[in-house]
Structure 1
Amino acid sequence: MKLRRLQVEQLRQFRQPFVMDDLQPGLNLIHGPNESGKSTLVRAIRAAFFERYRTSSVDDLRPWGDSAAAPTITLDFEAQQKSWHLVKSFLQRKRCDLRIDSTSYSEDEAEEKLAELLGFQFSAKGVSKPEHWGVPGLLWVEQGTGQNIEQAVEHAGDHLKSALNSLVGEVASTGGDELIEQVKTRWSELFTPKGKPRGDYQKLEQEREEHQQEIDELQARIQKYQEQVDRLGKLTREYERTQQERPWEEAERQLEQAKERYRQVEKLEQQQAQEKEILNHLQSRQQLLRQNQEQLESLNRKLDVRKAELERAQRELDQAEARSPSIASSVQQAKSAYEAAAKQVEQARLQETRSRLEQDIQRLDQQNRTLTQNLEKARQYEQELEKAREQARQNQIDARAVKALKDTEHQLKEENIRSQTIATRLTWELEPDARLVLNDEPLEGRGDRQLLEDSSLEIPGVGTLGITPGGEDLASTRRRLSTLEQGLTEQMKTLGVDSVQQAEHRLVAYEAAERTLQHTRELLKSVAPVGNDQLLADQKETLSQLQKAKTELHNSPAPEPAQSRVTDVASAEAGRAQAETRLAEAEAQERKHQTELLTRRQTRDNAKAEWQQLLDEVQNPERQKQFQTLSKELADIEEKQGRLEATLQAREQEIAQARPEILKQDIERYQRSINNLRQTQEERQRELRDIQVRLEAWGAEGLEEQRNDKVAELEQCNRRYQELRRRAQALDLLLTLLTEKRQALTRRLQAPLQKHLDHYLSLLFPQATLEVDEHLRPGTFTRGTELGQINELSFGAREQMGLISRLAYADLLREAGRPTLVILDDTLVHSDTDRLDDMKRILFDAANRHQILLFTCHPEKWSDLGVVPRDILAMKEQGLRLTSSESLTGSSQ
């Protein structure tokens, strides 16, 4: 199928006729910005085929705000080696006409021909839906739906299978499908869709498991009963033997022996602790006596040390007193230097004051002259400012009003030009004596006139001709001309000018006066920022300050000649600071020296007092008697200490040989053994009672009889289960064989489609495969080690795979002799640069077999597609020019 020409009229934004012709048999690239009408044209093609001409559910085709419109679509195309011409109108003028070569059809018959040709069906009521679109719904991709292909394939499935059957022959009969369905019905009675048992089969399997579980539980209880009988006999023998032997009594006897040995060791440890305490007391007394002895012996050594310290203190005092005269001289010299530096600072400050006053006088004198000059300039600028204000008042005019006036004049000129192009033109060429009268105006010789209003042409001797210019545009142009002329006159009257040029001249003069006014204000502000009065006040203030500075300079004393070498206050103050620092250092040194003298004298006096005190203590007779007493007492303590240490050592060996820690462990071991033996015997007695009670209860239940009954029930259930199981296995095997056979036939049916799909896929994803399922829908996608479904890919990849699949379906339909037309509305917008290049190769290849209409708002992305792009806006402009030309031709006629 090849679409050659499309025309729409009164359809959405296409109020006037819009024609797109000379469509190429291969690729056609149609571009335009958003809202330029691309999707409207796609909608028009869909409406021409899918919508019933008599439906009232296509209000979306109506132009906005035009309830009287009759959307009309005209299509010229080739199909089945014939020329087809379709005209379909909706809403206000419902009509459908179809011409195939020389045969014509209309209304419902025409629509059925279209549905039969392309393989779709009409909606029984209301607007058509995707489930009605069939093959075109698969090949005509709306904006934003390129990735959704499953439903489109499902809606076109019957047509695709019909095309495949026509290629490979009828490979499957309906009888085979009915047999598979019968087997599936029988199989589903026994299995769930996931292959799990259900119904009686599931119930028997559960009963079988329950019986087997009950038998296993009974067998376990019987086994447990026998084990308990054996355990009862063993426990009875152990209990009776232990009751006769009573092993815990021997352990109690050994426990008492261990406790007695441990009590004897505890007595030895108590005696050892008491004597150790006595030994510690003797050692403390001995240490105290030795300290007293050493203290008495150290008095002589201390006396020698105090004598040496006294001599050293006297030498240091004599050395400090010798430095006193030099320190006093340094302090006197620092004071003299400081007084001279202070005098120097005073003279420097006096000199600085006089210099500052002289500089102030020069500055104030210069400031006075500057203020006098600014005052003269300010008075001059005020005069210029007044002149500029007067010039602005004389030429004042509103700039926006002037702009509006110029715009009105421009519109009037354009409207005059337009009126000249569409007005009825009257030309005449008269004989020398002939004359005409047009609207009471005589016409002679040669000339022409543009007529916008009703006119009368009087021909002497013949009569009067009435001329009425035709066309709605001419009447509206005449009204606009009148409105613009009236508006231009009123605007000039408001501005008080006779012409637009005069208004522009006044505006130029007014703007120049305003610029001069602004410049003069800035000059005046530069010399008198706050006005002439303030400038005059500043001048008076400056004169006052100048006189005051001269008076202070006259009254200021001159510096002494001897101090004229001082240059500035900073140097003088730096010298005074240095002198003050040296004076402070000298005074600090003097204070430090006096402190040192006092410290040396105090140290000498303290040393002398301590030496005298030690001398008196050494020469005391009582000290000699005390020393002898200490020596005798120390000898007695050492003798007692020796005897006590020997006794302690002997007892320590006796305690160590007894091993008290081992005795404590023996006591603990015997006590635990007694408790364990008694507790074990008690537990045997309790377990004997529990087993006897349990055996009596189990014996009353008749466990073996219950097991035999359950075994019989299991055997009966097994027989019924095996019958159903053999039937289920037979049905499962039969269904598997039939399904495999059906799948083999389906693969044979899919082979032509898979061939075309592999052709396109190899251009986009080399070494990749895309399989189709039994319903001919693209499903499993494999690339290398990656395996997944097509709906798991990214949005851009799904969009690309969707387009590849549609082109493969188109190849299949073409191979089967079915008409194809591919329409792509803003598709592949989510593809990256590399993938888009590959998709261009695929589209170019497919265009060798199909006509493709590609609509886009990004023509720059398709510049290398190898086709000349067609601009919708340019086609609109061309249509408007043709319409205007036809209107002019009709008016002139």
Structure 2
Amino acid sequence: MSMQLERIVATNFRKFRDPMVVEGLGSGLNVVIEPNETGKSTLLEALRAGLFVRHGTKSQLAQSFMPFGENVAPEVEIEFQIDGERWHVAKKFLKSPVLEVRGPKGRTSGDAAEEQLQALLGFERSTSRDADLDSYGALGLLWVGQGDALSVRAPGEIVRNSIRSTLEAEVGSIMGGATHDAVRAAVDKQFADNWTPGGSIGGRQKSARDAAQTARDAADQAASDLAALERSFAELADKQARMKVLKRELADERDVQARADLVKSLETARAATLMLGQRKAERSAAQADADALGEFAERHKNALKVKTEATDALADANTKRAKVEAEVADAKEKEESARQALSSARDVRAVDKSALADARLLATAASRHLAIADAKRRHEKLVELETELAHARKIEASGIDPQTMKSLESLERNVATASAELSAGSTTIELVGEAPHITVDGNEFGDGPRTIVQETRIVLGGGAELVVKPPRGTASARASLDDLNARLESELSQLGAANVSEARARVDAARDAKASVAALDARIEAITPAAPTLDLGAGADALRKFVATIADSDTAASSTIPDIVELEKHLEDAEEGLATADGTHQAALEALRKAEEKHRPLATAETSARSTLASATQQIATIEADPRFANLEADLLDARKKAAGADVAWHKAQENAGSLDPDAIERQIEKIDKRAESARTQATELQLEIARLEATIETEGGKGLAEAAARAEEEAEAAQRSFDRLSEEAATVKLLRGALEDARLETSQTYVGPIARRAKRHIERLLPGCDLSFTEDLQLHSITRAGTEEGCSNLSRGTQEQLAVLTRLAFADMLLEKGRPVSLILDDPLVYSDDSRLDLMSDILTEAAERMQVILLTCRERAFRHLGGTHIAIG
């Protein structure tokens, strides 16, 4: 059923501080065309608030209804019809909130009125702090705010349920209906009892599995305890057998005798080793004495050699250094001379450079004086030209525009034409001879012909008069001529011209003056160029300002200017002289550096030779003062003989000690001791293990472990059978739930078919030959054109907006079939549509208005003013 809004009033609602009234809405197409910031979007928000937002809410959304900066109560009144029944809703927010609904059966207020609106319009109470369009039901989908239709979206759950119930008979299935929900709820409950939401084992099934696992663990533990007892019997027998073998090993006397023999051999080996150490020390001491005396003799020999070499090196260094010092002195003298020449060259260059700079300053000043004089001459010429230009512009301004001149010439032609017509219809009289007594209208007749255009009296004399009467049409021709002459004289008077010829002469003069103005402008531009040397810009204004600032000193004659070319030649010669002196000085510096480099190592060598000679002399004196130096040769020979004898004695002691190795004997004794200790330790450990095993067998043997293991195994098998049975039931429930889900998906596709057919009826006109694809939640997902699938999100913004409007129309048609209250409101629609699609969408909306109320809110007058229907203004 169609819903028809008739009247909306918003007071203290956002920008509407005073009551805003929209009334006269018709049942078909309604167009509201208002400029931006008029309140079209606010009108839609007020409509939604009046029907869907609870009157008692204090939410952020309700707070936003108040005008900015004010603390008042927003109010909305709405009048509408549903199936011919009239309804009136009055709602007040925030301050003393009130809701009153008047319908065919009387008035309702408060929460009862809220419930009545929900039942009437098919929406749900929203718990959101902001606007929840899905909770608004069908009208939340069909009342489209500004920008909400820029993308294709799925309808809310309320709309989907309404559409499913509409199509249930058509698709022939209970899926998605109440019966399916009841079956699915029972299956879901059993599924939740045995499975987790992700499909893993849970609930009763997990408990049964845990119980089976616990029973199995107990059975395994009982079997393990029984097996441990049986292992204890076997381990006790093994330990007792190993104990017998160890006792036999400990009773054997052969290791005792072998150890005693090894102890005796160790004492003999240690005595031989002690003698070897003594002989080794004696050998080392004799060899050290011989080495010390040999080193003392070698030091004396080396010192004598170093002294001789240092003496020779010192003499050679002195000879070479004397030669090089003469070269260094000569190089220093030449460098000093070159430095003085370089300084003189720099002074000459500085003098010449200063003279050239002064001459250039004088030349620049002279050039400026000349430029200033030229500027003054050009300024004088400029004054003359500007005087001529002013005169030419005055003549040009006195000209007559072509249209006025054309009018004058037209009047002149009309006067000539009227005069000719008058002459053609008038009487002409002419007096031949002299007759001074004949007068015409009191005046002498005069010579030549006279044209009579009105009744004229000619006095002949003697009391006689001749009355001449021209034809009757002559009077009108005369009046017309007089009128034209008056108009011509008026035009000429306004222009200040005596006649048309004078006016024409002024036109010609103005044309010539215009040409003169252009020529004078060009001449003025030519004589006012820029002068960079004076920082003078181009143009007459710049020249006048510059001349006004010229002082008398600027035009004074400059002093005599030296020959700059000659000065530049002198500076060039000075630069060359400086370069030559600089090169000579650099060469002298390089020669001095090389001489000093040759002298530096020689000085170093001399110093080093002196130091080495002094050190060698000091070392020789020290050695020869040592008491060992007096009999050095004899003492060295005796020490070497003693070292040879000690070496012989040491080798003999090595031979004696080599036959017995104390370390090897000690290792054999240690091995026998460890073997005996290990046997005693193992015997002790075995004795402890045997005692422990005997105690364990005595304790565990009386517990009946075999019977307990058999009983635990039976309980584990029973728990496993219970778990297997429950698992089978859970698997059946899971399979049934999957089958229901598959059936639901299949049925969803069955629902999608009728929806696609209805939507295609509209979209086919926009996109001929396309196929539509909807998702499970009834959202248009993609279109297929020429075999190519295109997702809606990949389409242009304009196409998305058009598809969003058309799918809403399809849903609106299905809701109409269900008998739901439906109307379509579009705020600022089709903003991205081209002209052809805008025309097509306008036709589709016009046709839809035949089935339901359609309200368009727009600021684009050119796009929608041609539409029919009711045009509404916001007031």
Question: TM-score normalised to the size of structure 2?
Answer: 0.47
